[in-house]
């Protein structure tokens, strides 16, 4: 099928390349000429395992193209909308200006029978508002939220664990053009569906809520275990053993019970805030009032890591050399948006520490956001002479690839703060290090 993808950021670039790999003919459109030039040359504008290969294959096959001219989207059966919905500059709600301008840009190229499939994360009610605008061209709108994780984006797009499609309708029944549009999307995703992924056709509101509910649940799970970490800290309990033990209950499950410096990135933080803001608008703020607590617990964990560095250095970090292992919001990513790791580094710098940050992928992005910090790409070089070391992004080269014996040959001090509970405390203590974890004795 011929497809277009409007917006070639994280979501759109991966979606375009993945759809081409499934055999579709895809054009990715973006107003950012530099980004389009990179993609058209087969280079990924961000770190995402597997994406460069997919881009090269797609471009070589002739099925994948990129353009800044929306007219190149003409003739596509489905136009995916994959633009960003960041947090508004002056509040917690989502900024929908990119979605609105993408729709405006797309209208002149739409033909009767086309499907516009919104993938962006939007406040509930957005699709209902946009549907008549799209319908004025004879095209149909569906909402098809995306659940990909950065670092696993290619796999998650090609083999999703579910596909959700919200269609127009009334009183719980889809309209005729909604059913037709859902059938067209089913064809687009036929290869993924053959792998057994459930295909859930629902109304607009449910599809929009599925997305934010999923992210709200994940954020709540992380903050739940971080709340337990706070209690562990005043009782001498070990939150990692607690998480293992409750995680054996299949109703709870161990995943996303990793206590540490908390969640960040371009999705979870802004999505829970936008959800709470939308619930307020709907007069149901109290229903998701707990998301404020989720957010606050999350932010407190960054302060806890900073406190542990201070404690490890005798009460003050002023003038002390601190090496921060990690800048990305999580491993396998170069994304530093709302990164707890970078925030901890910046806080330490603000307290007068001499901070050196290293990261296998995120240094360039981190430097743009926090130019006041010193960045050293080579891990061992970054560690040399440190009084204290803080692990904040659990890349393998820090978690598994760094032994206490080796670190001892590099650092001045013997203090390690494990902001992700990724290290074995017994091994580090046995090697003479003062080890501080998050919610661990
Ligand atoms: C998240 C969701 O997991 C995706 O399903 C969703 O599609 C995506 O947002 C989105 O809305 O686009 P992502 O932002 O890539 O994906 O990151 P996650 O893997 O969810 O991790 C989020 C943060 O939680 C990271 O900072 C990570 O370090 C932290 N985390 C994760 C913990 O602190 N503890 C855990 O146990 C797990």
User: Known binder of ligand: residue 35?
Assistant: yes
Q: Residue 175's pLDDT is what?
A: 87
Q: Please check if 30 is assigned to a binding site.
A: yes
- Given this model, what pLDDT does residue 171 score? 81
> What is the Å distance from ligand 1's center to 264 Cα?
7
Q: Residue with the nearest Cα to atom 10 of ligand 1?
A: 267
pLDDT digits (tens, 9 = 90+) for 345-376: 999 999 999 999 999 999 999 999 999 999 99
Q: Compute the CA torsion angle 40, 45, 46, 47 (nearest 10 deg).
A: 50
Q: What is the pTM of this model?
A: 0.97
Q: What spacing in Å lies between the alpha carbon of 156 and ligand 1's midpoint?
A: 13
Q: Is 119 annotated as a binding residue?
A: no
Q: Which residues are catalytic, by number?
A: 267
Residue spans of the chain under pLDDT 70: none
235: number of Cβ within 10 Å:
10
Atom of ligand 1 nearest to the CA of 420: 33
Cα–Cα dist 278/350, whole Å:
34
Look at phi and psi of residue 167 and say left if phi exceeds 0, alpha if psi is from -120 to 50, else beta. beta
Neighbours of 426 (CB within 10 A): 9
Distance 394 CA to ligand 1 centre (A): 13
User: Going by DSSP bridges, is the β-strand pair 169-170/173-174 parallel, antiparallel, or unpaired?
Assistant: antiparallel
- Mutating to test ligand 1, I would choose from 149, 327, 334 the residue with most ligand atoms within 8 A of its C-beta, which is 149
| Cα–Cα dist 391/416, whole Å | 8
Q: Which atom of ligand 1 is nearest to the CA of 264?
A: 26
**Contact 137/107 with Cβ under 8 angstroms?**
yes
Query: What local confidence, expressed as pLDDT, does residue 163 receive?
Result: 98
- Report which protein residue has its CA nearest ligand 1's atom 16: 149
Considering the chain, what is the average pLDDT of its residues? 97
Q: Binding site annotation covers 232?
A: no
Q: How far is the CA of 134 from the centre of ligand 1 (A)?
A: 32
Query: Is 258 flagged in the annotation as binding?
Result: yes
Domains observed in the chain: 2-197 (3.40.50.720), 203-441 (3.40.50.720)
| Residue of 218, 295, 336 to mutate, ligand 1, most atoms within 8 A of C-beta | 218
Report the nearest atom of ligand 1 relative to the CA of 147: 7
| 270 marked among binding-site residues | yes
**Ligand 1 pocket mutation pick from 222, 252, 259 by most atoms within 8 angstroms of CB:** 222
Q: Calculate ∠ Cα 37-38-43, nearest 5°.
A: 150
- Is 437 labelled as part of a ligand binding site? no
Instruction: List residues near ligand 1 (CB under 6 A).
Output: 121, 146-150, 215, 218, 222, 256-258, 260, 262-265, 267-268, 271, 329-330
Cβ(208)–Cβ(124) under 8 Å?
yes
Tokens of 415: 């203090």
Tokens 């932010």, located at residue: 299
Q: Which atom number of ligand 1 is nearest to the Cα of residue 222? A: 34
356 Cα to the center of ligand 1, angstroms: 25
Ligand 1 centroid distance, CA of 18 (Å)? 21
**257 has binding-site annotation:** yes
Measured CA to CA, the distance from residue 10 to residue 148 in angstroms comes to 10
CA distance 335 to 405: 31
- Per-residue 3-state assignment (H helix, E strand, C coil) for the chain: CEEEEECCCHHHHHHHHHHHHCCCEEEEECCCHHHHHHHHCCCCCCCCCCHHHHHHHHHHHCCEEEECCHHHHCCCCEEEECCCCCECCCCCCECCHHHHHHHHHHHHHCCCCCEEEECCCCCCCHHHHHHHHHHCCCCEEEECCCCCCCCCHHHHHHCCCCEEEEECEECCEECHHHHHHHHHHHHHCHHHHHCCCCEEEEEHHHHHHHHHHHHHHHHHHHHHHHHHHHHHHHHCCCHHHHHHHHHCCCCCCCCCCCCCCCCCCCCHHHHHHHHHHHHHHCCCHHHHCHHHHHHHHHHHHHHHHHHHHHHHCCCCCCCCEEEEECCCCCCCCCCCCCCHHHHHHHHHHHCCCEEEEECCCCHHHHHHHCCCCEECCCHHHHHCCCCEEEECCCCHHHHCCCCHHHHHCCCCCCEEEECCCCCCHHHHHHCCCEEEECCCC
Residue nearest to atom 6 of ligand 1 (CA): 147
Which protein residue's CA is at the shortest distance from atom 31 of ligand 1? 256
C-beta separation of 65 from 30 below 8 A: no
CA of 231 to the centre of ligand 1 (A): 23
Of ligand 1's listed atoms, the one at least distance from the Cα of 259 is 34
Pocket test for ligand 1, best of 260, 267, 398 (most atoms within 8 A of CB): 267
Q: How far is the CA of 214 from the centre of ligand 1 (A)?
A: 11
The two three-digit tokens of residue 282, written as one number = 């709907």
- CA–CA dist 50, 176 (Å, integer): 39
pLDDT in tens, 65-74: 999 999 999 9
Looking at 30-162, which runs of residues are DSSP E strands?
A: 64-67, 78-81, 115-118, 140-143
């Amino acid at each position: 099928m011929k497809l277009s993808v409007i917006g070639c950021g994280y979501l759109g670039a991966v979606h375009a390349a993945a759809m081409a790999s499934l055999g579709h003919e895809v054009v990715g459109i973006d107003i950012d000429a530099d980004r389009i030039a990179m993609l058209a040359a087969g280079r990924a504008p961000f770190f995402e395992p597997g994406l460069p290969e997919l881009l090269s294959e797609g471009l070589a096959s002739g099925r994948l193209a990129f353009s800044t001219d929306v007219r190149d989207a003409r003739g596509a059966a489905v136009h995916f909308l994959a633009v960003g919905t960041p947090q508004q500059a002056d509040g917690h709600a989502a900024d929908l200006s990119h979605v609105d301008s993408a729709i405006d840009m797309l209208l002149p190229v739409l033909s009767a029978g086309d499907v516009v499939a919104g993938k962006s994360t939007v406040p509930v009610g957005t699709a209902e508002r946009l549907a008549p605008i799209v319908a004025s061209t004879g095209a149909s709108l569906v909402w098809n939220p995306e659940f990909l994780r950065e670092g696993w984006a290619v796999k998650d797009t090609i083999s999703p664990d579910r596909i959700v499609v919200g269609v127009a309708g009334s009183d719980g029944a889809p309209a005729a053009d909604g059913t037709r549009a859902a059938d067209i999307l089913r064809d687009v995703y036929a290869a993924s569906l053959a792998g057994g992924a459930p295909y859930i056709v629902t109304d607009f509101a449910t599809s929009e809520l599925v997305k934010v509910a999923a992210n709200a649940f994940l954020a709540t799970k992380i903050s739940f275990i971080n709340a337990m970490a706070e209690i562990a800290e005043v009782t001498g309990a070990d939150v990692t053993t607690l998480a293992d033990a409750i995680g054996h209950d299949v109703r709870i499950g161990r995943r996303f019970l990793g206590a540490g410096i908390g969640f960040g990135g371009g999705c979870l933080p802004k999505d829970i805030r936008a959800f709470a803001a939308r619930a307020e608008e709907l007069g149901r703020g109290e229903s998701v009032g707990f998301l404020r607590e989720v957010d606050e617990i999350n932010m407190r964990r960054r302060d806890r890591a900073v406190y542990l560095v201070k404690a490890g250095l005798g009460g003050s970090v002023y003038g002390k050399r601190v090496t921060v292992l990690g800048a990305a919001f999580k491993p396998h990513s170069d994304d530093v948006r709302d990164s707890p790791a970078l925030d901890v580094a910046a806080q330490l710098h603000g307290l007068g520490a001499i901070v050196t940050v290293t990261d296998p992928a995120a240094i360039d992005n981190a430097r743009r956001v926090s130019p006041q910090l010193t960045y050293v790409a080579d891990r061992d070089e970054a560690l040399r002479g440190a009084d204290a070391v803080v692990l904040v992004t659990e890349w393998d080269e820090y978690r598994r690839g760094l032994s206490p014996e080796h670190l001892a040959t590099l650092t001045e001090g013997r203090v390690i703060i494990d902001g992700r509970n990724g290290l074995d405390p017994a091994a580090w203590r046995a090697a003479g290090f003062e080890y501080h974890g998050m919610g661990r004795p």
